[in-house]
Amino acid sequence: MCSIFGMFDLQPGDDLAALRRQALELSQRQRHRGPDWSGVYVDAGVILVHERLAIVDPASGAQPLRSRDGALALAVNGEIYNHRELRAASDYDFTTGSDCEVINALYRELGGDAFVREGVARLNGIFAFALWDGASQRYVIARDP
C-alpha cells in the first residue's frame, strides 16, 4: 500500500526548499507503506510526496505522475480496476502504463468542476489521491466511496 503526503496552499515567499525537506522528513515516517520508490513534486502552490509500493507498471509508474505538458501532478494510493476501459475510451496522451494515470486523463478531458462532479464517480477501484493542476493553481483531493 502506497502513501501520499501533501502540502497545499503554499504562498509566495514560502521557503520551498525548507518545506520540501520537511515534507520528505514527514513522508519518510510512512515509507514502510511504499518501500519501492519515493517521489516528490514541488510547485509554487503545492508539494506532493509519494511512497510507492509498485504493483501495476513497476517500470514506469513512478509518482507523482505528471502529464506530458507538466501541468498536472498526481499522487495516488490504490488501484483503478476499470483503467483499461477508461484508457481505451480516452485520447489523452498517456506517459505510463500505470492504472492511476487515467485520473489525470479524466481530469484533463472533463475539466476541474465536471471532474469533481462526474469524473471521480467513473473510477471503479480503491483509491485516495491528490491531483495538482499547476495551470489553474487548483487541487483536487478525493477517495473512493
Catalogue the active-site residues: 2
Before 12, cis peptide (omega within 30)?
no
Asked if residues 64 and 39 have their Cβ atoms less than 8 Å apart, the reply is: yes
Strand order through the sheet with 125-133: 65-66, 72-80, 125-133, 138-143
> Quick one: cell of 89?
475510451
Q: Which secondary structure element, helix H or strand E, spans residue 23, and what is its range? A: helix 16-28
